[in-house]
């Protein structure tokens, strides 16, 4: 549905806006916060914000349509100890990960947006696109940091672990406003719907502890099953995560943007 909307918006804007409309390049960068939602945060808690930062280049085709290519960093984390759900609290898993992503997206401005105009100097916008990102879920045990993927916590054989560089759909909303002809501020909320359910290293069921130890060593079963021992929920084949839905992370960033372009008097006059 989102992709169809953007295709429709692109064609309508390209055919109906003046060929003399203002266009040019923008570059920007900024920072904000990152949130994770998935098997270790099923009720959308916002108590563990991580850092976010990014830089990007944008090309303005006309006052409605832009394309943008950006590189972003984010940090995500979650802990079952924060949950109000009894099962999740007893499961007692946690993780953290750095995220590095590259995103290309189309943007559609709700209002005509013309740099230097007295009337068309701000607009909310929608966007959609595609992301490639890298991650590496980690946890601490007895003061030592472990890369969870290396221990096949859900019974993955060596060489059959999940990929830590994979894809996502990017979508969201933003708001841009001029500070001057060259400079503007952009506030953007951007979600990534991942093509993996292993951002948090949790997806399916508990593996057999004996098999894990034989395959990955004595630490593996300790990382896979950290359930509170008075409830012992980590029996072989019992639910560990929910594989029916993939994980998500969301970045909210405020960016300062510089426009490389020239004032086009006929175009600016038209939109005033």
Q: What is the pLDDT along the chain (272 residues), one digit of tens a residue?
A: 544 544 444 444 444 444 445 679 999 999 999 999 999 999 999 999 999 999 999 999 999 999 999 999 999 999 999 999 999 999 999 999 999 999 999 999 999 999 988 999 999 999 999 999 999 999 999 999 999 999 999 999 999 999 999 999 999 999 999 999 999 999 999 999 999 999 999 999 999 999 999 999 999 999 999 998 767 788 999 999 999 999 999 999 999 999 997 655 544 444 44
- Residues paired with 216 in a beta bridge: none
CB 242 within 8 A of CB 204: no
- Residues paired with 140 in a beta bridge: 145
Cα 91 to Cα 41: distance, rounded to the nearest angstrom = 12
pLDDT, residue 250, reads 98
> Closest by alpha carbon to 73, among 47, 97, 104, 44?
97
> Closest by alpha carbon to 131, among 266, 247, 267, 9?
247
- Radius of gyration (Cα) for the chain, nearest Å? 23
Distance of CA 25 to the CA centre of its chain: 24
pLDDT, residue 200, reads 98
pLDDT, residue 262, reads 61
pLDDT, residue 21, reads 54
Domain ranges within the chain, ordered by starting residue: 2-12+24-270
Q: What is the fold of 2-12+24-270?
A: Porin (2.40.160)
């Amino acid at each position: 549905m989102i992709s169809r909307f953007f295709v429709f918006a692109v064609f309508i804007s390209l055919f109906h806006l003046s060929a003399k409309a203002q266009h040019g390049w923008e570059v920007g960068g900024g920072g904000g916060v990152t949130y994770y939602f998935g098997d270790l945060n099923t009720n959308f808690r916002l108590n563990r914000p991580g850092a976010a930062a990014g830089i990007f280049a944008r090309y303005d085709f006309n006052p409605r349509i832009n394309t943008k290519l950006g590189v972003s960093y984010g940090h995500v984390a979650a802990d079952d100890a924060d949950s109000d759900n009894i099962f999740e609290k007893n499961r007692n898993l946690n993780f953290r990960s750095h995220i590095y992503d590259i995103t290309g997206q189309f943007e559609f401005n709700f209002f005509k947006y013309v740099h230097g105009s007295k009337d068309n100097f701000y607009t909310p916008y929608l966007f959609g696109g595609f992301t490639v990102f890298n991650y590496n879920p980690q946890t601490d045990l007895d003061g030592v940091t472990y890369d969870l993927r290396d221990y096949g916590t859900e019974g993955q054989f060596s060489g059959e672990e999940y990929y830590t560089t994979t894809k996502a759909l990017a979508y969201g909303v933003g708001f841009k406003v001029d500070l001057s002809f060259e400079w503007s501020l952009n506030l953007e909320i951007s979600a990534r719907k991942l093509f993996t359910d292993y951002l948090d290293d949790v997806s399916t069921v508990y593996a057999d502890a004996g098999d894990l130890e034989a395959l990955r060593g004595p630490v593996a079963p300790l990382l896979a099953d950290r359930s509170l021992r008075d409830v012992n929920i980590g029996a072989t084949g019992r639910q560990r995560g929910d594989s029916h839905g993939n994980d998500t992370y969301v970045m909210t960033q405020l960016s300062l943007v510089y426009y490389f372009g020239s004032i086009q008097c006929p175009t600016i006059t038209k939109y005033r």
